Chains A and B, each alone.
Chain A
Amino acid sequence: MKVPDRVLLAHGGGGHLTRRLVEELFLPALHNEHLATLTDSAVLPELPPGRPALTTDAFVVDPPIFAGGDLGGLSICGTVNDLAMSGARPMWLTWALILEEGADGELLETCVRGAASAAEEAGITVVAGDTKVVPRGKGDGLFAVTAGFGVVPPDRDLSDVHIAPRDAVLVSGPIGDHGATVLAHRHDLLSTGLRSDCAPLGGLIDQLLESGAKVKALHDPTRGGVVTVCHEVAGRSGAKVVIDETAVPVRREVTGVCDLLGLDPLALACEGRVLAWVAAEDADRALRALRSHPLGTDAAIIGRMEEADAGSPPVVMKTRIGGERPLDLLSGLDLPRIC
């Protein structure tokens, strides 16, 4: 494979260089019969039974390469996970890259390879793509935009409206790893030992949904973290989320980075975790199902739903020392504190 050392405007011009980039980098990495036709649109086989699910997402992470992943792999995982949260089996994905003139060819190759291996792991096919190059200074190295398509099998029906008081809240593993890793990179916090949790969750979700536990809804706590998802769920279900601080798995390294930068792990992004709302009587069964999958070994029951009452906050945390505090949505960006 011949990868250019620098991205040139001509790589997005539609001419010779564009063609070479596609034929020598994208096609070999993402190879499949639909992409290989290089036609204007991918014409795909008939769908299996079920309801179609469609999602779209954009990825602009800085830095584009971080411990445990890269922007390419992240863009595939993020899209696949959004499909999986509605119970959909991921099928096809489109992948568009916006490159900045002068971007490092090695970065591009890393991200393409990251995307290819994530797609393979997730069992999704990249059936269409596009590349644009913007002049130097008009972008930030590399952005990716995706659309993901899947089908929700007829026996699956996940929705926040099913959530009721007493339901258990589970998380599939330690929270905040991705957000803390990216922040640590950005602030040159060396040797934290942190790695992004970025991973495709389809297999884990299948295992959970096939365990027989009555799963009401699933969410991936990406941007805005666990606290944001809890607020959305409280809003849509009309019930109150009560989180138990002692039960929430957070790595020591993540707590460390958060303490240094003045941030809250509950508001940090995860890219390979799922929050599951499960009927109370099935909580242990769901926990076992999650823990028996390699991506869910540290799963935990972190809280439960309660009746909402007027004048009380929608999301509450029982603190470690026996206090209680409402968890609020972030206002703007979570700005670092001075001291």
Chain B
Amino acid sequence: MSESPYKDPAAMAGILETLRAEADKLERRVTLMEVCGTHTHSVAGAGLRRLMPSKVRLISGPGCPVCVTPVDYLDRALALAAQPNTVICTFGDLMRVPSSTVNLERARAEGARIEIVYSPRDALDFARANPDHNVIFLAVGFETTVPTVAGALAEAEHDGVPNFMLLPGNKTMPQVMRVLVDDPELEVDGFLLPGHVSVITGWRLFEFLSDEFKVSGVVAGFMPTDVAQGVLALVRQAADGRAEIENVYGRAVSAEGNTHARDLVDRYFEASDEVWRGFGTVPGSGLGLRRDFDHRNAALIEVEVSDPAEPVGCRCGDVLRGVIDPPECPLFDAGCDPDSAIGACMVSSEGTCAAWYRHERWAGEVGS
């Protein structure tokens, strides 16, 4: 029952004391955005938001892969699930994401073959075990997840498993962050950069933030002291008037990242224009399957999909862009909650709204 040093109360108290001292030097309140669902989750789970000095505002950006998955992706997945001899394999988070009609959970109860898997590899195994079915994996997730998808593809190609397919929906971070820092509505002083993504991409990928936009960024891990250290580094930069890319997650992240994983991804995927919930189409922000692998691409299967219907009143888009905090959405805790999510941000435990609902809604704190 020993404990991780990264949750050590004494270490945490030390970091927080330094953070308060640094924050005192700030001339105004700074807004820091994390762009990783696991950061959202860590901040909420450890109760960090309330430990922040008053001059530090922490907000969440488009870091939850489920939340940024657009309605029409789900519509297409449902249409595919209705095809004969078809099994959809998905990460559990997607099960309750609203589509234009029902969600996957409901579709399964109505008879569609939908299996929850923990990895694309499980879906591949499922395909092997059910050779008379088309097994379609719903490939969502960021740079961290996509190498595992590429790995499953490589195995399917090598072993000749013809019935394993993907519905491509993977996304990459840099382009959407570019959109964010270009957004005149948004005033972000610095980014808490995603630790897991950076393990693959390397931290150097984010240098455009400081070079082109004079915005700071700090790569941080996910334990409470990791996150606090990331915030401290950002506050120091703000106090000193610097805008640099720093890495305080050195035990996992290097400048260049995991080139082996990236090579594997490059073999199967190429940059594509991708729709993000709340952002619309972001050029070059997705990973489409290369044409050589059309036989694996379930997006090429012809199914009838009507125009996507976004839920009325839902402000997930504004939440994802960091323009509002969840309680400012008229539906938050007033029709939209984790039991009956209207917006996707309420569905995944990493979703900003779900995290607020679970952990912050009692504080009555609306950051601005």
Chain A residues near B (Cβ < 8 Å): 174, 187, 246, 249-252, 261-262, 311-313, 317, 319-326, 328, 331-339
Contact = CB atoms under 8 A, between A and B. Distances in A.
16 contacts: A251-B1, A317-B47, A319-B46, A321-B224, A321-B228, A323-B46, A323-B50, A323-B51, A326-B359, A326-B361, A331-B338, A332-B105, A332-B338, A335-B95, A337-B38, A338-B350
A323 B48 contact: yes
Nearest to A321: B12
B145 A336 contact: no
Interface stretch (B136-144, B179-187, B280-288, B291-299): B136-144
B230 to A, nearest CB: 14
Given A320-B3, A322-B12, 7 more contacts: A187-B118, A311-B362, A321-B9, A326-B359, A328-B358, A328-B359, A337-B350
Nearest to B43: A323
A253 to B, nearest CB: 10
B47 A338 contact: no
B362 to A, nearest CB: 4
B145 A339 contact: yes
A252 B2 CA distance: 7
The 5 closest A-B pairs by CB, nearest first: A323-B47, A331-B338, A335-B92, A321-B12, A325-B47
B46 A325 contact: yes
A322 B96 contact: no
Interface string B1-34: 1110001110011001000000000000000000
B12 A331 contact: no
Nearest to A250: B1
Contact of B9 (A252, A262, A322): A322
Given A251-B1, A312-B362, A338-B141, A324 B118 contact: no
Contact of A326 (B1, B348, B362): B362
B45 A262 contact: no
A339 B38 contact: yes
A326 B358 contact: yes
A321 B225 contact: yes
Contacts of B37: 337-339
Interface in B91-118: 91-93, 95-96, 105, 116, 118
Nearest to A318: B47
Interface in B207-240: 224-225, 228
Most buried by A among B8, B41, B93, B225: B93
B349 A337 contact: yes
A251 B1 CA distance: 5
A311 B364 contact: yes
Interface in B316-368: 337-339, 348-350, 357-359, 361-362, 364
B9 A320 contact: yes
Nearest to A339: B144
A338 B140 contact: yes
B70 interface: no
A187 B1 CA distance: 23
Interface string B117-138: 0100000000000000000000
Contacts of A311: 362, 364
B45 A325 contact: yes
B62 interface: no
A192 to B, nearest CB: 15
A336 B92 contact: yes
B44 interface: yes
B196 A339 contact: yes
B66 interface: yes
A246 B224 CA distance: 14
B50 A321 contact: no
Contacts of B339: 331-332
Nearest to B338: A331
B364 A262 contact: no
B221 to A, nearest CB: 13
Contacts of B45: 319, 325
Contacts of A339: 37-38, 65, 141-142, 144-145, 196
A262 B65 CA distance: 15
B7 A320 contact: yes
B141 A321 contact: no
Nearest to A186: B118
A338 B50 contact: no
Contact of A335 (B50, B51, B141, B349): B349
A322 B13 contact: yes
A141 B277 CA distance: 43
Contacts of B66: 338
A250 B349 CA distance: 22
A246 B46 CA distance: 12
B253 to A, nearest CB: 15
